[in-house]
Chains A and B, each alone.
Chain A
């Protein structure tokens, strides 16, 4: 195992280096949003299995999405976007659409639906900045909070480049998706993937999921779906790739995802360097203030 200062400051236990006696292959999610039907079974399954508290029955006015977004009490969130764009041809059985046989004008329309979740980053900022060690990397390469250690300092919350982890108000601690750590340990798949009726949420070994995603992307592009793209698949992106990655049909920001997230600790060595010089400047500056007259 190589060691250097940069690793020490920036990479707190990336997958596969966490010192487990029996490391497992890295596991993750591939969420293929092109087949999501917006049923929200994943949201319900997650809430039920993990006993995630109710977080308000709000009317947001945002299409069919009254969940709003990921939070301490929402670990799967289905986004709904209505667009005036041609629908994606997924090769499903066809039928005559309204407006196609001359009765009125046909308008192009499509749904984008996507089930968002914690990305379980390769370089996870939440885990890096956690001052208690409550956040840790599991043997499956996922990132999990230990509720019995978390003291609610809240540092992980602004550190996350995806805005996933959050504080439970009445409880004070930080909560997020565990990828059903308890189920994984028993050889089962996470509750959301188990419940997904269209296999939009796929769980498995990350290497295999990536191959599957590449094949799906190629198939869609061959069919002329040029908007299709993988998000979080690239191991050279700002977070070293996501353990939970997506196939999207539009720009990431349309789904509420950052277009180019970067793990903040990537710049930590440079930050400390500048802070060191600043501290020396303070010492020197005040020393200079003592020059110029013993009694003045």
Chain B
């Protein structure tokens, strides 16, 4: 309720081994306004956008190496995922009918503006790639669109890391260097999962390897990110975010091991592993989303790192 005493300032030159436990606040109220975004819309979008982007890369690779079934999984999967993404993004707007206002400016200082234009370049190509594949018409145009979507796909998967990091939310902004790597790793894991789940085993080799490489990148980048975040990383291990994070790690590892390593020999393993990889990627996105909300609501995550920064510059 009341304010903690303020006389907890370290003297100059004194080395603090652990961060100060005490801090002052205004009746424990948050300093930041927590994001008003709905988790299902925006964490859902982070997952689906990543799934779409990486699936398009897989589809382009499959197209170029003569794996038509894997290519179709990637193309159709990307179209479904990006369509659901677009629905979630528009649904989350306070004024959905004004979605088009996004298109009245190109604003380099706004990752959401840049993202809108990335999606505008990406969406139509994904649509063309999937429709031409399914209908079997305009196959040459479809091939161009497939490769085009495969080249824009990584931007779709990576930019969302900037989208959420470019905020004052401690658990999103701190660790902004590693976040896009966590996101592309998670995206590759999800796309690999979908690929092995929905494609015959003899064509799904690249999907299995993508799930292994993606899962490894996601976990490694996540570890580096936490180290960089300092005390803010607590937000990833407590509450809803903590539960989701533990589930995400278990599922991603299951996806990589069961699906990635055993999925080539067993259809059952491919299905279980694929589903685990997809679920793991979704849990990662929801965990990071929820950690951000929690870190914005607790003034400790705002005050303590800033105090430490001030104390460091003073001494």
Binding site for B on A (CB under 8 A): 8-12, 60-62, 68-69, 71, 79, 81, 83, 125, 128-134, 149-155, 157-167, 171-174, 250-251, 253-262, 264-265, 267-268, 270-272, 274-283, 285-290, 292-296
Contacts and interface: CB of A to CB of B under 8 A. Distances in A.
A228 to B, nearest CB: 14
Interface of B: 1, 3, 6, 23-27, 29-37, 53-54, 57-58, 61-62, 64-66, 92-96, 98-99, 101-102, 104-105, 107-113, 116, 151, 153-155, 157-159, 161-162, 165-169, 172-173, 176-181, 183-184, 187-188, 191-192, 202-203, 205-207, 209-210, 213-214, 217, 264, 292, 296, 299, 302-303, 306-307, 309-310
Given A255-B26, A274-B181, A289-B58, 13 more contacts: A83-B3, A151-B98, A155-B110, A158-B168, A159-B168, A253-B299, A260-B310, A271-B111, A272-B162, A274-B161, A280-B154, A288-B209, A294-B65
Q: Is the interface of B mostly helix, strand, loop or mixed?
A: helix
A88 to B, nearest CB: 15
Given A151-B98, A289-B210, A282 B166 contact: no
A132 B105 contact: yes
A295 B168 contact: no
Contacts of A130: 107, 110
Contacts of A281: 181, 184, 217
9 closest Cβ pairs, A-B complex: A152-B94, A172-B94, A256-B26, A151-B98, A278-B180, A296-B205, A279-B154, A289-B209, A279-B158
B109 to A, nearest CB: 4
Given A158-B292, A288-B209, A282 B310 contact: no
A81 B207 CA distance: 59
Contacts of A71: 33
Contact of B110 (A131, A163, A262): A131
A281 B203 CA distance: 23
B39 to A, nearest CB: 13
A125 B33 CA distance: 13
Contact of A131 (B92, B105, B159): B105
A129 B102 CA distance: 12
A282 B187 contact: yes
Given A149-B101, A172-B94, A256 B110 contact: no
Given A172-B93, A264-B166, A275-B180, A257 B31 contact: yes
B166 A129 contact: yes
Given A8-B109, A154-B92, A162 B167 contact: no
Contacts of B157: 279, 282
A128 B107 CA distance: 8
Given A133-B105, A251-B6, A151 B95 contact: yes
Of B1, B153, B158, most buried by chain A (CB within 10 Å of CB) is: B158
Contacts of B34: 158
